[in-house]
A and B are shown apart, each in its own frame.
Chain A
C-alpha cells in the first residue's frame, strides 16, 4: 500500500462550490505539506503543518484553508472554488532533521468550471 494517499484522484467542480481534498499517510511523519502544480510554474507551497497544533501558510495560501485532523491526516479546502484554482494538488510528508526528503502522494487533478 502507498505511504501517502490522496482522495479524490480527480475532481471536476463548479465555480463557487466548496471542495475538500484529503491526504493520509502511514509513514508516521509529523510534517505534512500541500502543494499546487501548474504547468511551467513548478510546485508551490500552499500550507504546511509541523504537527496537529501547528499549521502555517505557504507561498500561495489565499483562497485555501487546511485542517490537520490527526498526525496522519491533512485536508485542504477550497471554500469557494474559482477557475484559476484548476491545477494538480500534491500532499507530502517529511521527517526532519534525520530525513529531509519529502514523500509525495499521487496527486489530485482538480478542474473548476
Chain B
C-alpha cells in the first residue's frame, strides 16, 4: 500500500522556469512532510520540510505548499537552474513513535540550459 503518491515521475523544465512536483497522502496521522533531493551517486539530503500547522514554507527558491484538507503538498522550484537537476522525493512521517519516513516514488527533474 503506497501511502504517499508523487507525480510526475519525470519533469523537464527550461532554465528560469518553475518546477512543480506534487504529493498526496492518505494517513491523517502524518505530521511531518519533508522533501529530499538526491544527486546521482549521492544519498538523499533534506531540502525543506513542513508541518501541517502552516500552509506554506519558503527557503530561497524552494517553496512547499501544504493543503491539509486535501491531504496534498507540493514543491515549487522558482527560477529553476541546471544545478537543480536531481531526483526529488517527498515523504511523510507520523507524530510520535517510530518517526518512520514513508517516501514517494520520486521525480527526476531535468533543467535544460
A90-B43, A90-B44 known; A100-B93 Cβ under 8 A: yes
Q: Are A48 and B98 in contact (CB under 8 A)?
A: yes
Q: Are A40 and B9 in contact (CB under 8 A)?
A: yes
Distance of A104 Cα from B44 Cα, bound (Å):
6
Chain B, Cβ-Cβ closest to A9: B41
Chain B, Cβ-Cβ closest to A90: B43
- Residues of A near any B CB (own CB < 8 A): 4, 31, 40-45, 48, 56, 58, 90, 92, 94, 96-97, 100-102, 104-107
Q: Are B46 and A102 in contact (CB under 8 A)?
A: yes
- A94-B99, A101-B49, A105-B43 known; 8 other A-B pairs, CB under 8 Å? A42-B6, A42-B106, A43-B44, A43-B101, A43-B103, A45-B100, A56-B98, A106-B42
Which residues from 85 to 113 on chain B have a C-beta closer than 8 Å to any C-beta of chain A? 89, 93, 98-101, 103-106
A96: min CB distance to chain B, Å? 5
A40-B9, A42-B105, A42-B106 known; A104-B99 Cβ under 8 A: no
Q: Are B100 and A106 in contact (CB under 8 A)?
A: no
Q: Are B43 and A104 in contact (CB under 8 A)?
A: yes
Bin the interface of chain B by size: 20 to 34
- Residues of B near any A CB (own CB < 8 A): 6, 9, 32, 34, 41-46, 49, 89, 93, 98-101, 103-106
Contact of B105 among A40, A48, A90, A96 (CB under 8 A): A40
Q: Are B100 and A104 in contact (CB under 8 A)?
A: no
Q: Which residues of A contact B6 (CB under 8 A)?
A: 42
Chain A, Cβ-Cβ closest to B45: A104
Distance of A4 Cα from B101 Cα, bound (Å):
18
Q: 8 A-B residue contacts at CB 8 Å? A: A40-B9, A42-B6, A43-B44, A45-B100, A45-B101, A104-B43, A104-B44, A106-B42
Chain A, Cβ-Cβ closest to B4: A42
